[in-house]
Chain A
């Protein structure tokens, strides 16, 4: 059994309000939302062990400060990151714009090695400002996965982290086992011409929705859990 230790950075704008990245992490790690928990732990660095198939993966989630004045400090945190979870607020379009800028920056600083998930948080709220089509198209164009999450309603929180971790794992293990990969081509794994491996999860998501929004389709996430597990 192999062991892995992945670093995931958590990015989210702070302007008028918060996008809820802290609640999201806390929900994931403690599986409890802020309303009820009495907690003394900090939510800036969290570690959790996940079982993915026969692999044990430890992920360290690094929170970053979202204030505009600290944006220049980002690269210090991205260094050696395997994944990034970009959180925006579905009720605030500006935070989505900011998330897009982050994607650009991540690609510039870390390159294609970093696996990105974009999470539209507060998806339990009615007054959405960001349309599903917009995000789906955008996510697809940058090779990221998009999910609608709600820390409050505990929707898609585990899935967001789990899916990100799986994709990191797949990306990491694809390099040494290319031959194995080629052998499996028939079973539905696609290798695109830039040799980037499109995961089963991704390909199905792309295929099904033309976009990648899984937020309101719990069924899809269920399957997702099994497919790599």
Chain B
């Protein structure tokens, strides 16, 4: 946890702000003062609040009074009972509030307190983060910062009752059906793409949002950050970047930081949250502005070949500034590393659509590679001298999924994690088949190559290029850098392979590779259709309805592959049409015009196809 956590919470925690500013909590303040009570403050990010206000019940649950006989046991203002552990590290909620009693007089009854002899049924355990004093309107109170809100059966800030009113829990539901991760190769994070696309849903649902969200908001005035959960965002020093950071990150559940056990640098956990906490501090405002400005410029200006260099030097520069910044004063190497990762994650997520597969050439290379990989799909493991029983292992599918999934992630780091996961699954397969021998590259590479062909990851070329261009160069010497290199060489293998590189004779090769179009049965015909990535489908949906109705196209005898190629070529067009015209800024006009030109080209190409 960052050192400034407590200070941060004192300034920004919505519960504290509510107590400080809201008149409706007068009786609670009186209780606090009279009873010398303590406020349990769930740290701000953990609070998901019903509608946009601080519920009285919620506040009362978090104002506690310790048993005068036994400091560990406490009862909340509305009668929730609980106790601290001996070392004050954990608190347990033992029972919910009594119903139908006059709560203001609850403490006058001796049975209000638990004692050591009472029977305890634990409802929930919560971590104590900090213990401190706070000054609220001239009086000092004790606050205990805790990891999550106190909940009990039937309280209206937990469980499914929330889903009707708050977006975050809706999102959470969405994630529960999201991609699962292999057992022994857990992702360190939830899918960033998923989270940010959900976030864009969130954005769209709010009428005040502008098209270029962050990019357009160089000053703090443009508050694009107020999804409904921030009930007091108008009062808080709203910081668009930071709120976005948190939304990007916080919506998926707590699996966020579960660490991949097999990662070599186990000690080097990446915590985006740590980074976010630091960036939220007032002193970091200069950095935040600089970052926003940079993102804005990258998204505004046309893409050129020196953009990757520019971005990487900028990230390094920011990381350098952070290392001497007061927020990172005395930070260890690992914290600074964390900061570099954090800034990379943030910036890359924001400029992804601009810099991923940025040129027509990249798109055509993607297409070529995908077509080529698809043409080899009938090859068998034996053709690469892989013992075929190795690939009957069900975890092969997992490895393939990891490779495919790479395309769904937005940060170079996350993409690399997918690659590493795939490789580690391969090692598991090899080790299982021969536990005595540690697999070397001789055994490993052929399998990876084969699975790369099977996975046919959408935009494989662009994904590789993107990682090479934007990943922190310092990380390239690591294990994941090694795996990346293997993936690259696998792609190059397929680009250059012919029968001389395979255990196959020319006739059979010709039959399998070149003759396939004549021999396909129906099922294989289906496989032949280029594999659609999720995002391509999204783009398709976004792009086509505006131009031509789908069914019109498909009722005619149009070459699907040709159409697919056109759609693929334009799949980078990422247009948010839910824009308030009045909010378009002059700086965005160039980009919009470029998109218009692209759409015109798209339309022309589709028209040509229809006429043909």
**Residues in A lying within 8 Å of B, measured CB to CB:** 5, 7, 10, 14, 18, 21-22, 25-26, 34, 37-45, 47, 60, 62-67, 69-70, 72-73, 76-77, 79-80
A47–B263 Cα distance when bound, in Å, is: 13
The CA of A22 and the CA of B496, in the complex, are separated in Å by 27
Chain A interface main SS type: mixed
Closest to A26 in B: B438
Chain A, Cβ-Cβ closest to B431: A40
Are B440 and A44 in contact, with the CB atoms below 8 A?
yes
Q: Is the interface of B mostly helix, strand, loop or mixed?
A: helix
| A215 CA / B444 CA spacing, docked (Å) | 31
Q: How distant is the Cα of A127 from the Cα of B276 in the complex, in angstroms?
A: 64
Q: How far is the CA of A21 from the CA of B439 in the complex (A)?
A: 11
Instruction: List 9 additional contacts besides A38-B435, A77-B485; criterion CB under 8 Å.
Output: A22-B438, A22-B441, A34-B437, A42-B439, A44-B440, A62-B482, A70-B489, A70-B493, A73-B492
Establish whether residues A22 and B442, one from each chain, have CB atoms under 8 Å apart when the complex forms: yes
| A65 adjacent to B441 (CB under 8 Å) | yes
Q: A65 near B444 (CB under 8 angstroms)?
A: yes
B488 adjacent to A76 (CB under 8 Å): yes
Interface centre among A10, A42, A73 (most CB of B within 10 A): A42
B446 interfacial by beta-carbon distance below 8 Å:
yes
Identify the closest chain A residue to B474 (Cβ): A5
> Chain A residues near B486 (CB, 8 Å)?
44
- Are B444 and A42 in touch, CB under 8 angstroms? yes
Whole-angstrom distance between the Cβ of A143 and the nearest chain B Cβ: 25
**B442 A72 Cβ-Cβ under 8 A:** no
Lowest 3 A-B CB distances belong to which pairs?
A22-B440, A63-B441, A65-B445
Is the Cβ of B439 less than 8 Å from the Cβ of A44?
Answer: yes
Give the CA-CA distance A42 to B488 in the complex, in Å: 20
Chain B positions near chain A (C-beta within 8 angstroms)? 264, 384-385, 427, 430-431, 435-442, 444-446, 476-479, 482-483, 485-486, 488-489, 492-493, 496, 501-502
CB-nearest residue of chain B relative to A35? B436
Q: Return 8 A-B CB contacts under 8 Å, by A number.
A: A14-B442, A18-B442, A34-B438, A37-B438, A44-B486, A65-B441, A66-B442, A77-B485
Please, how many angstroms separate the alpha-carbon atoms of A64 and B443 in the complex? Answer: 10
Is the Cβ of B441 less than 8 Å from the Cβ of A69?
no
State the CA gap A26–B441 with chains docked (Å).
Answer: 13
Complex contact A65–B438 (CB within 8 A): no
Complex CA–CA separation, A40 to B431 (angstroms): 7
The CA of A138 and the CA of B465, in the complex, are separated in Å by 39
Chain B residues whose CB sits within 8 angstroms of the CB of A21 once the complex forms: 440
CB distance from A131 to the nearest CB of B (A): 27
Known A26-B438, A65-B446: A76·B489 in contact at CB below 8 Å: yes
Q: A47 contacts B496, CB within 8 Å? A: no
- With both beta carbons as reference points, the residue of chain A lying nearest to B432 in the complex is identified as A40
Closest chain B CB from A54 CB (angstroms): 19
Quick one: which of B435, B477, B496 contacts A72, CB cutoff 8 A? B496
Q: Which residues of A contact B482 (CB under 8 A)?
A: 44-45, 60, 62
Q: State the CA gap A10–B445 with chains docked (Å).
A: 14
Which residue of B has the minimal Cβ distance to A34? Answer: B437
In the complex, A66 Cα to B439 Cα: how many Å?
A: 13
Q: Give the interface centre of B436, B441, B446 by most chain A CB atoms within 10 Å.
A: B441
Does B477 lie within 8 Å of A60, measured CB to CB?
Answer: yes
CB contacts (< 8 Å) of A80 on chain B: these are: 476-477
Residue of A nearest to B478 (CB): A60
A85 to B496, CA, bound (A): 27
Give Cα A80 to B446, complex, Å. 23
Give the docked Cα–Cα distance between A91 and B440 (Å): 21
Residue in A34, A43, A65 whose beta carbon sits within 8 Å of that of B436 in the complex: A34
CB distance from A155 to the nearest CB of B (A): 20
C-alpha gap A70/B385 in the complex (Å)? 12
Return the contact of B489 from the options A5, A10, A73 (Cβ within 8 A). Answer: A73
- Chain B nearest CB from A160 CB (Å) reads 17
A residues in contact with B501, CB < 8 Å: 69
Contacts of A72 in B (CB 8 A): 492, 496
Q: A42-B439, A45-B479 are in contact. Are A62 and B496 (CB under 8 A)?
A: no
- Inter-chain contact B477/A63, CB cutoff 8 Å: no
Min distance, Cβ A58 to any Cβ of chain B, angstroms: 8
- A172 to B: closest C-beta gap in Å: 14
Chain A residues near B431 (CB-CB < 8 A)? 40, 42
Chain B residues within 8 Å of A62, by CB: 482, 485
**CB closest chain-A residue, reference B428:** A40
Chain B residue nearest to A7 (CB atoms) is B477
Residue of A nearest to B502 (CB): A69
- Which residues of B have CB within 8 Å of A73? 489, 492-493
Chain A residues near B436 (CB-CB < 8 A) = 34, 38
Docked CA distance A34–B438 (Å): 8
Which residues of A sit under 8 angstroms from B437, Cβ to Cβ? 22, 34
User: Are B485 and A76 within 8 A (Cβ)?
Assistant: yes
Q: Is the CB of A5 within 8 A of B442?
A: no
- Distance between A41 CB and nearest chain B CB, rounded to angstroms: 6
Residues of chain A within 8 A (CB-CB) of B479 are 45, 47
Within the assembled complex, what's the spacing in Å between the Cα atoms of A73 and B492? 7
CB distance from B343 to the nearest CB of A (A): 22
CB contacts (< 8 Å) of A77 on chain B: these are: 485, 489
Identity of the chain B residue whose Cβ is nearest the Cβ of A66 in the assembled complex: B442
Residues of B within 8 A of A47 (CB): 264, 479
**Other-chain residue from A14, A39, A70, A76 in contact with B438 (beta carbon distance below 8 A):** A39
Residues in A with CB closer than 8 Å to B430 are 42
Q: How far is the CA of A72 from the CA of B446 in the complex (A)?
A: 14
